Amino acid sequence: MGDRTPLVVVGSGVAGLCTALAAAPRPVLLLGRGHQGEGSATSLAQGGIAAAIGPGDSIESHVTDTLVAGAFRNDGAAVRALVGAAPDAIAWLQGLGAAFDRDAAGVRLGREGGHRASRIVHAGGDATGAHVLSVLSAAAASAPHIQWRGGIDVDALQLRGQRVCGVRLGAAGGGETVATDAVVLATGGIGALFARTTNPVGAEGSGLALAMAAGARARDLEFVQFHPTALDLPAHSLPLLTEALRGRGARLVDARGMPLMAGLHPLADLAPRDIVARRVWQAGRDGGAWLDATARGIEWGVEFPTVLAACQLHGIDPSREPVPVTAAAHFHMGGLATDALGRTSLPGLHAVGEVACTGVHGANRLASNSLLEGVVFGRRLGARLASLPSPIAGGGPVALAARGPALEAGRLQQLRTLMWQAAGPQRNGPGLAAAIAAMRPLAAAGWQGRLALAVLEAAARRRVGIGAHWRDDEPVGAFADPGGGSRALAYGATY
**Closest to 86 measured CA to CA, from 369, 340, 355, 378:** 369
**Would you say 197 or 368 has its CB closer to ligand SIN?**
368
Smallest separation (angstroms) from ligand SIN to the CB of 246: 8
CB nearer ligand SIN, residue 214 or residue 244: 244
Cα 376 to Cα 385: distance, rounded to the nearest angstrom: 14
Applying CB under 6 A, which part among 24-32, 154-162, 240-248, 401-409 lies near ligand SIN? 240-248
Residue 19 in the binding site for ligand SIN (CB under 6 A)? no
Q: Which is nearer to ligand SIN, 166 or 228 (CB)?
A: 228
CA distance 1 to 22: 15
Question: With binding defined as CB under 6 A, does residue 180 bind ligand SIN?
Answer: no
Closest to 63 (Cα-Cα) out of 49, 81, 80: 80
Instruction: Identify which of residues 116 and 163 has a Cβ nearer to ligand SIN in the complex.
Output: 116
CA dihedral 89, 223, 73, 245 (to 10 degrees): 50
3-state secondary structure 237-302: ECCECCCHHHHCCCEEECCCCCECCCCCCCCHHHCCHHHHHHHHHHHHHCCCEEEECCCCCCCHHH
Q: What is the DSSP letter of 44?
A: G
Given the rule CB under 6 A, which of 207-215, 307-315, 365-373, 399-407 is the region that contacts ligand SIN?
365-373
First to last CA, the chain: 58
Q: Taking a C-beta distance cutoff of 8 angstroms, is the pair 361, 45 a contact? A: no
Q: Who contacts 191 (Cβ-Cβ below 8 Å, separation ≥6)? A: 41, 197, 198, 199, 203, 224, 328, 329, 330, 331, 332
Q: Contact between 242 and ligand SIN (CB under 6 A)?
A: yes
Interface region with ligand SIN, contact rule CB under 6 A, candidates 216-224, 237-245, 302-310, 414-422: 237-245
Subset of residues 43 to 82 that bind ligand SIN, contact rule: CB under 6 A: 46-47
Among 65, 222, 243, 274, binds ligand SIN (CB under 6 A): 243
Instruction: Name which of 20, 361, 407 is nearest 185 in CA terms.
Output: 20
Residue among 6 and 374 whose Cβ is closer to ligand SIN: 374
User: Of the ranges 165-173, 241-249, 296-304, 319-327, which one interacts with ligand SIN (CB under 6 A)?
Assistant: 241-249
- The answer to whether 199 contacts ligand SIN (rule: CB under 6 A) is no
Of the pair 180, 306, the CB lying nearest ligand SIN is at 306
244 lies in the binding site for ligand SIN (CB under 6 A): yes
237 binds ligand SIN (CB under 6 A): no
Point out which span in 287-295, 362-370, 436-444, 487-495 binds ligand SIN (CB under 6 A): 362-370
Half-sphere exposure of 8 (CA within 13 A, CB side): 24
Our finding on whether 367 is near ligand SIN (CB under 6 A) is: yes
Question: Residue 246 or residue 469: which is nearer to ligand SIN going by CB?
Answer: 246
Closest-CB residue for ligand SIN? 47
Rounded to whole angstroms, what are the CA distances from 120 to 107, 368, 370? 10, 7, 12
Please tell me the count of residues contacting ligand SIN according to CB under 6 A.
8
Nearer of residues 148 and 226 to ligand SIN, judged by Cβ: 226
Query: At closest approach, how far in Å is the CB of 74 from ligand SIN?
Result: 15
| Shortest distance (Å) from residue 370 CB to ligand SIN | 5
Q: How far is CA 336 from CA 109, 223, 291, 330, 344, in A?
A: 32, 12, 35, 17, 7
Is 273 one of the annotated active-site residues of the chain?
A: yes
Provide the minimum distance between the beta carbon of 174 and ligand SIN in the complex, in angstroms, as a whole number. 36
Tell me, rounded to whole angstroms, the distance of Cα 18 from its chain centroid: 16
Instruction: Name the CA radius of gyration of the chain, rounded.
Output: 22
- Cβ neighbours of residue 438 under 8 Å, at least 6 residues apart? 414, 418
Out of 43, 306, 338, 368, the only residue in the binding site for ligand SIN (CB under 6 A) is 368
Is the separation of the CB atoms in 155 and 210 below 8 Å?
yes
Least spacing, CB of residue 245 vs ligand SIN, in Å: 8
Q: How far is the CB of 50 from ligand SIN (least distance, A)?
A: 8
Least gap, CB of 493 to ligand SIN (angstroms): 19
Nearest to ligand SIN of 23, 328 (CB atom): 328
The residue from 251, 273, 462, 487 that is catalytic is 273
Q: How far apart are CA 192 and CA 134, in angstroms?
A: 24
**Minimum CB separation from ligand SIN for residue 243, in Å?**
3
Site string for ligand SIN, 310-339 (x = CB under 6 A): ------------------------------
Query: Do the Cβ atoms of 354 and 41 come closer than 8 Å?
Result: yes
The secondary structure of residue 157, as a DSSP letter, is E
* Amino acid identity, position 180: T
**Least separation in angstroms between CB 208 and ligand SIN:** 19
Could you tell me which residues come within 8 angstroms of residue 62 by beta carbon, excluding any fewer than 6 positions away? 50, 51, 52, 83, 86, 115, 117, 119
**272: preceding bond cis by omega (within 30 degrees):** no
Residue ranges in contact with ligand SIN by CB under 6 A:
46-47, 242-244, 367-368, 370
Q: Which residues are known catalytic residues?
A: 273
